[in-house]
């Protein structure tokens, strides 16, 4: 972990995790949004625990309402259960019936669904695979957890539409069990996790609360205003895995800049630089970012669409879907161990967003650093 060195070229105040200065770093107020209806909700199995019945009722009620509107016999005077006739009634019935069947798959421990392969105890009780991995005996009868598959339940599961596990957060979608997990990965009701790289912070909650979390729990992250800034990573030669993080505010949004250093198995050192938006995937698609390293007659540029923090940067880094360079390239562009990365955020145009692009060139005249760019120092994490 680094001390309190500040690179001489740093024009913005630098903030470290352990420093107690906070003035400039906290200027980014949360963007104007209505107050969240619901505070942090747990993810995973436990997410479904709170109100497993609610989605059933919503689903059934919605089906009934739709059926009511479509019903030719609707007089509009006294809509109610009694006026449900014909196709309307059967649609509502089948939604209710589906939920009844789905409830048969509820895990007695976490109330998530025990999806195929369905494993039962010797007495026939089922438990979801998540909970099963943590149990030594059946939660219903305390009997041994044998590896007995329940094929009848598995066949039944194929006939059931299971509600999304974020139903209690407001998701109304239901899926065949094979499509459920895939949806939940991208479900917009999935809680957001702390966007800081490195797994040390376990916070999760709604999008509206992310900025508040960052300004309260990660006070030392530097924030700069503007579309064009310099992200300064100091001491890039520090050994081991290090993340540098900074915030950039422009267009009314907050962007998080991440430089991650990894040491690979073959002891080669790789750097990954990426930008993520504190926002949804849809919001992120409105923007493009450009990262640029400028050095002696050299320039390395990467342009792409920012990631949404809902997706995070881990997968993108693992897939090298970001600005990637090794320690040799880093040393070409670094000055006395500090690396400045020019970051430009822009509104996406149709042509620019299509794909990420990478250009490198060594024939360029030395790039004039835009004098308007302000420079801020990335906070080191881990």
Contacts with Zn ion by CB under 5 A lie at 45, 107, 109-110, 121, 123, 125, 128, 131, 138, 140-141, 143, 164, 166, 171, 173, 187, 194, 196, 201, 203
Nearer to Zn ion, 79 or 198 (CB): 198
142 burial level (CB within 10 Å; 0-12, 13-18, 19+):
exposed
Nearer to Zn ion, 110 or 288 (CB): 110
DSSP assignment letter at 285 = T
Nearer to Zn ion, 106 or 285 (CB): 106
How far is Cα 162 from Cα 174, in angstroms, rounded to an integer?
5
Nearest-approach distance from CB 267 to Zn ion, in angstroms: 30
Is the CB of residue 353 less than 8 Å from the CB of residue 258?
no
Phi, psi of 356 (to 5 degrees): -70, 150
Nearest-approach distance from CB 56 to Zn ion, in angstroms: 15
Nearest-approach distance from CB 193 to Zn ion, in angstroms: 8
Nearer to Zn ion, 36 or 143 (CB): 143
Q: Is the peptide bond before 117 cis (omega within 30 degrees of 0)?
A: yes
What b-and-e string marks burial along 247-276, b requiring 16 or more CB atoms within 10 Å of the CB?
bbbbeebbbbbbbbbeeeeeeebbbbbbbb
Nearer to Zn ion, 164 or 345 (CB): 164
Nearest-approach distance from CB 382 to Zn ion, in angstroms: 13
Q: How large is the angle between the packed helices 86-103 and 54-70, nearest 10 degrees?
A: 170
Is the CB of residue 211 less than 8 Å from the CB of residue 194?
no
Q: What element of type H or E holds 233?
A: strand 228-233
How far is Cα 120 from Cα 158, in angstroms, rounded to an integer?
17
Q: What element of type H or E holds 149?
A: strand 148-149
What b-and-e string marks burial along 7-41, b requiring 16 or more CB atoms within 10 Å of the CB?
beebebebbbeeeeeeebbeebeeeeeeeeeeeeb
Nearest in space to 206 (alpha carbons), one of 173, 170, 251: 170
Nearer to Zn ion, 203 or 253 (CB): 203
Nearer to Zn ion, 86 or 143 (CB): 143
Nearest-approach distance from CB 372 to Zn ion, in angstroms: 32
Nearer to Zn ion, 122 or 268 (CB): 122
Nearest-approach distance from CB 214 to Zn ion, in angstroms: 7
How far is Cα 129 from Cα 180, in angstroms, rounded to an integer?
15
Nearest-approach distance from CB 202 to Zn ion, in angstroms: 8
Nearest-approach distance from CB 246 to Zn ion, in angstroms: 15
Phi, psi of 291 (to 5 degrees): -110, 135
Nearest-approach distance from CB 359 to Zn ion, in angstroms: 34
Nearer to Zn ion, 191 or 340 (CB): 191
């Amino acid at each position: 972990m680094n001390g309190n060195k500040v690179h001489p070229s740093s024009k913005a105040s630098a903030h470290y995790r352990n420093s107690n200065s906070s003035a400039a770093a906290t200027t980014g107020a949360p963007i104007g949004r209505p107050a969240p209806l619901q505070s942090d909700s747990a993810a995973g199995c436990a997410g479904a625990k709170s109100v497993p019945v609610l989605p059933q009722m919503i689903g059934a009620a919605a089906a009934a309402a739709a059926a009511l509107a479509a019903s030719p016999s609707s007089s509009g005077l006294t809509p109610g259960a009694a006026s449900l006739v014909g196709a309307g009634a059967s649609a509502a019935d089948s939604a209710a019936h589906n939920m009844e069947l789905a409830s048969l798959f509820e895990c007695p421990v976490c109330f998530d669904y025990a999806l195929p392969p369905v494993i039962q105890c010797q007495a026939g009780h089922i438990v979801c695979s998540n909970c099963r991995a943590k149990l030594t005996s059946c939660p219903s009868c305390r009997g041994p957890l044998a590896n007995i598959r329940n094929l009848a339940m598995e066949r039944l599961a194929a006939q059931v539409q299971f509600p999304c596990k974020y139903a209690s957060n407001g998701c109304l979608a239901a899926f065949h069990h094979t499509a459920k997990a895939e949806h939940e990965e991208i479900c917009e009701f999935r809680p957001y996790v702390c966007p800081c790289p490195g797994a040390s912070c376990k916070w999760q909650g709604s999008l509206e609360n992310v900025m508040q979390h960052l300004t309260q729990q990660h006070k030392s992250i530097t924030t700069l205003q503007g579309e064009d800034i310099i992200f300064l990573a100091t001491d890039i030669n520090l050994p081991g895995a290090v993340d540098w993080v900074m915030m950039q505010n422009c267009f009314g949004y907050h962007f998080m800049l991440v430089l991650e250093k990894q040491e690979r198995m073959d002891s080669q050192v790789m750097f990954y630089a990426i930008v993520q938006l504190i926002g949804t995937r849809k919001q992120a698609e409105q923007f493009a970012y450009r990262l640029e390293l400028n050095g002696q007659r050299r320039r390395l540029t990467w342009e792409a669409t920012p990631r949404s923090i809902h997706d995070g940067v881990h997968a993108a880094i693992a897939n090298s879907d970001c600005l990637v360079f090794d320690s040799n390239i880093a040393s070409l562009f670094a000055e006395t161990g500090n690396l400045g990365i020019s970051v430009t955020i822009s509104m996406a145009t149709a042509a620019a967003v299509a794909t990420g692009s990478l250009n490198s060139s060594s024939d360029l005249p030395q790039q004039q650093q835009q004098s308007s760019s302000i420079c801020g120092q990335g906070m080191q994490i881990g």
